[in-house]
Structure formats: structure tokens, C-alpha cells
Structure 1
Amino acid sequence: MTFVLNNQLRGLLLFFIGLILAGCSNLQPKLEQPTVKVAGLQLLPAQGFSQPIEVSLLIANPNDRDLHLRGMSYTIGIENFDVLSGVSDQLPTLMAYQETPVKVVVSANVLQLVRLIEHFGRNGVKENVNYNFSAKLDFSAWLPALRINEAGKIPLAAKKR
């Protein structure tokens, strides 16, 4: 009889542990994805063969809570060539329902730049150049990392009237 009781207690205990774990998964807040706009670029002083570029971003937080960033990795591509990339752990808090200005430094991938120049040499430069910005925003251990992808076109020629 003790054996049967132990199995019943063990089953009941496993059932409650399962309920607790299922409840914890619902405690993780659902976050809407922030949006990122590239607001500007500025060349920084060259460092040897490297040309760092400061990128000014506006990150909009559409959530009802401030988001504290631990770090961010990011890539900027032109015509599907990932030419600029960087990482940062010096980031401001993204305030709830606000756009937060963020400045990050990127460095050029020389091999991808050569491929991009070769691409333009073969295909010519169009009126619009495609760009993409992708980033991984890393929050605290309690929140999952968010991946952001933005894409668009940069007009290079004035529109004809």
C-alpha cells in the first residue's frame, strides 16, 4: 500500500510542477517589436586602415514599459552586401512610447565593400539603392532578445518633373 501511495504522491507532485512551469511561461511579457530609423551618418577620424562611421538611430519603443538594453549587434547592408557592422553595450534605456536617439559606431567590411563596388561596376548605379538594417537587441535575462529588420531605398538621383 505504501508503494501505491508513493506513486500517487509522485504523480500529483509532477502534475503541480507542470502547472507551475506552464504558468511561468505565461508570465513572460509579450513585447511589440521596436522600430528603427537611420537618422544620419558621420565619418569619424580614421584609425589605420579602418574608417569608423557613427550611425544615428531613432529607436521607437511601442510598449507600455521602458526597455533596458544590455547590448546590441547590428549590420547595415547595401544592395544585399553587409558592408557595415558593429556591437555596443553603451546604450540608453528605450523609454515607453517614445523615440530614443541612439548613436552607434560601425566599421566597414572591406571585402563586402569591394564586392559592392564590383556590383555597381557591372550593373551601374540606379536612381535608388536598396539598404537593410538588422539588429539584435539584448535585454535582461528575463526578456528574450528581439531581432529587428528594416529595409528601404535611398534615392540617389533627383526626381525628374
Structure 2
Amino acid sequence: MSATRLFLLLWALVLAGCSSFGGRDPLQVDLAGMEPLAGEGLEVRFTLKLRVQNPNESAIHYSGVALELEVNDLPLASGVSSQGGTVAGFGETLIEVPVTLSAFSVLRQAWNLGGGAPLQNVPYALRGKLGGGLWGTRRFSDAGVLSLPEPRDTP
């Protein structure tokens, strides 16, 4: 087989392999809960619980998680975990990721929200990825608004 034919055959295999990666529906990732962790110094730490749903037929294997949380268009927290696992096809799993809020980011949020007004309709954005090797990394995002209930007047 000539070098040209071998090159064309390999190129066709690469293109066919790349086309098999397309057509996957995005993961659905929702914030399922938060639990406080012990922090050091001026940092605040939480464990974020993420519910990850896989709307695809094939399972997704991951080997690490990274995420960033923005509130009111400002960075608030970030976290990573070397936790690995599998999200079954048409299945879901709960992933826990420790995140850190620096004192500076908390102060910046307080300054931006200022005025003592109730926290209503504050936009948030959650972005991250499930690590899965060279072509298996799956990115995710979630956005919405946070509204904390106003304190009740007690008689």
C-alpha cells in the first residue's frame, strides 16, 4: 500500500471517529444542596451537591469535576474534586464538590448588594466540567435567579 493511500485511509478513520462524538445532548446539572465545611482563616467552604442527569443513551465516565459559581455577575466560589464515576445512560447521579469562597469575594458581593434590601431575583451562573480525557470532557452550565424569603413579622 502506498504512503498516500495509507494517509487517506487514516484520515478517513479520524474523520469517522470525530463524527461519532457529535450529536450528544448536553448534561442537565442542578444544584441539589449545600453543606458547610470547616474553613481556614478568612475563607468559607461548602460542599455543593450537584444532581447530574445524562439524557444520552451511552454512559458518561468522568475522572474529576471543576466548577465556578457566579452571583450577580461576580465570581463567588470555585471548587475541584478528583472524584470519578459514571453517569448511566438515561440516568442520574449526585456529585459532591467542595468549594471555597474567599473573604474578598464575599466582601465584593456584600458591597455590590449593599443597602440592606432583601435578596430578590439575584442572578447566578454555575459553570463547570466533568473530566473525561482528551475527547470525553463534558462541560455544563446552569443559570437562574436566587430569591431568599423575606423575614416574617412575628406577633
Q: TM-score range by the shorter chain?
A: 0.7 to 0.9
- Residue number in structure 2 paired with 1:147: 139
Amino acid at match of 1:129: V
Which of 36, 42, 45 pairs up with 1:49? 42
Q: Residue in 2 aligned with 1:18?
A: 11
For residue 32 of structure 1, give the secondary structure of its aligned residue in structure 2: coil
Question: In the alignment, is the contact (CA less than 8 A) between 1:79 and 1:130 conserved in 2?
Answer: yes
Q: Which has the larger radius of gyration?
A: 1
**C-alpha distance in 2, partners of 1:100/1:58?**
6
- Which residue number corresponds to residue 76 of structure 1? 69
Secondary structure in 2 aligned to 1:75?
strand
What secondary structure is seen at the aligned counterpart in 1 of 2:39?
coil
1:108 to 101, 108, 112: 101
Please list the CA deviations of residues 39-69 of structure 1 after superposition, one character each: whole Å capped at 9, or x if unmatched: 1111112333322101111111111122111
Q: 2:29 aligns with which of 27, 36, 40?
A: 36
Match of 1:5 in 2: none
Change (3 A) 1:47 1:28: same
The one-letter amino acid paired with 1:111 is F
Count of matched residue positions in the alignment of Structure 1 and Structure 2? 150
Identical-pair percentage: 22
Tell whether the 8 Å contact from 1:76 to 1:82 is kept in structure 2 after alignment. Answer: yes
Q: 1:23 to 1:114 in 2, by over 3 A?
A: same
Report 1:86-105 matches (<5 A).
Answer: 86-105=79-98
1:46 and 1:17 mapped to 2: Cα distance? Answer: 53
For residues 81-118 of structure 1, what are the alpha-carbon distances to aligned partners after superposition, in whole Å with 9 as ceiling and x for unaligned?
A: 11110111113321221221111110013322222111
Please tell me the residue identity of whatever aligns with 2:47: E
2:110 maps to 1:117: yes
> Counterpart of 2:84 in 1: which secondary structure?
coil
Shift of the 58–122 alpha-carbon distance from structure 1 to 2, 3 Å rule, reads same
Which residues of structure 1 form unaligned runs of 5+? 1-8
- Secondary structure in structure 2 of the residue aligned to 1:69: strand
Cα distance change, pair 91–16 in 1 and its aligned pair in 2 (3 A) = closer
